[in-house]
């Protein structure tokens, strides 16, 4: 009874004062247990199931397979892809909260999954880690770029250089999620550019592009073509979550 009362009082205090202060426990975003992080250790163990992934596009593959059939047939312009988890429960809900409901306090736990996934793999370390940019209009509407919120947490942990405006979105196109897969490549064609002042430094760089989710890979492919066209040595694509193939979310 007493502990229930303390818990209620604590919840009230947190609600009153907004997001938890550093050093205070908060409720796990998935199971609601009290923990020092927004995602408790039990949920991380339960829902981060390492699986073999295609080294080119990060889709799940059978054990022993390095590259999926689709990438063997038509290799993407990016050299490697890294995905921490599949886009399914609970990650789909956490990413949606990060993206559309200002769940910025989730950026740290999602970024941590990317850092761990990189640590378990064997990818060459990129010099630059750049967030997939939003258009100026969408950035104004949302108030933040979720990919930058991830990048600014992941980059320092891995010793990469990052910046929110070195990769630019120069064309506002309808959101990929609203389009059928077949139209997505055309929708983002010519949508990205490298900040002109950084073009010289880009040469000879290995660049990783970071986003929350990869679905068709059309955005990632267009960015990779843009970076390679501007002189980057090679491009990787890093995401928190990868959707299974042939989905039309």
Positions that interact with Zn ion (CB under 5 A): 28, 30-31, 40, 43, 54, 56-57, 68, 71
Contacts of 82 (CB under 8 A, 6+ apart): 58, 114, 117, 118, 121, 123, 208, 236, 237, 238, 239
The DSSP element (H or E) to which 239 belongs, if any, is: strand 234-242
Cβ proximity to Zn ion: between 98 and 160 the closer is: 98
8 Å CB contact between 110 and 83:
no
Shortest approach of Zn ion to residue 111 CB, angstroms?
Answer: 18
Shortest approach of Zn ion to residue 75 CB, angstroms?
Answer: 8
Shortest approach of Zn ion to residue 13 CB, angstroms?
Answer: 21
Pick from 216, 197, 215, 208: nearest CA to 236: 208
Cβ proximity to Zn ion: between 122 and 141 the closer is: 122
Q: Write out the two tokens for 231.
A: 């002189």
Cβ proximity to Zn ion: between 95 and 230 the closer is: 95
Which residue bears the tokens 């073999």? 52
Length of the chain measured in residues: 249
Q: Write out the two tokens for 134.
A: 């939003």
Count of CA atoms in the C-beta half-sphere (13 A) of 120? 17
Query: What distance in Å separates the CA atoms of residue 98 and residue 19, rounded to the nearest whole number?
Result: 14
Shortest approach of Zn ion to residue 142 CB, angstroms?
Answer: 27
Shortest approach of Zn ion to residue 220 CB, angstroms?
Answer: 12
Query: What distance in Å separates the CA atoms of residue 216 and residue 219, rounded to the nearest whole number?
Result: 8
Q: What is the DSSP letter of 32?
A: -
Cβ proximity to Zn ion: between 12 and 69 the closer is: 69
Shortest approach of Zn ion to residue 206 CB, angstroms?
Answer: 19
């Amino acid at each position: 009874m007493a502990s229930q009362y303390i818990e209620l009082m604590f919840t009230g205090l947190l609600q009153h004062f907004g997001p938890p202060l550093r050093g205070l426990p908060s409720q796990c975003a998935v199971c609601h247990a009290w923990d020092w992080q927004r995602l408790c250790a039990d949920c991380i163990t339960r829902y981060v199931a390492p699986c073999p992934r295609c080294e080119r596009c990060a889709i799940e593959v059978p054990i022993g397979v390095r590259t999926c059939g689709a990438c063997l047939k038509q290799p993407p312009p990016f050299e490697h892809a890294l995905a921490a988890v599949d886009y399914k429960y609970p990650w789909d809900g956490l990413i949606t909260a990060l993206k559309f409901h200002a769940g910025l306090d989730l950026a740290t736990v999602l970024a941590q999954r990317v850092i761990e996934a990189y640590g378990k793999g064997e990818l060459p370390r990129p010099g630059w880690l750049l967030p997939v940019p939003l258009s100026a209009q969408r950035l104004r509407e949302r108030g933040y770029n979720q990919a930058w919120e991830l990048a600014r947490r992941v980059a320092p942990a891995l010793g990469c250089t990052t910046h929110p405006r070195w990769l630019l979105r120069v064309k506002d196109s309808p959101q990929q999620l609203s389009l059928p897969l077949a139209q997505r490549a055309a929708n983002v064609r010519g949508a990205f550019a490298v900040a002109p002042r950084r073009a010289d430094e880009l040469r000879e760089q290995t660049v990783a592009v970071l986003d929350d989710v990869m679905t068709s890979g059309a955005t990632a492919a267009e960015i990779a073509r843009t970076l390679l066209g501007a002189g980057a040595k090679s491009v990787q694509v890093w995401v928190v979550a990868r959707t299974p193939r042939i989905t039309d979310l």
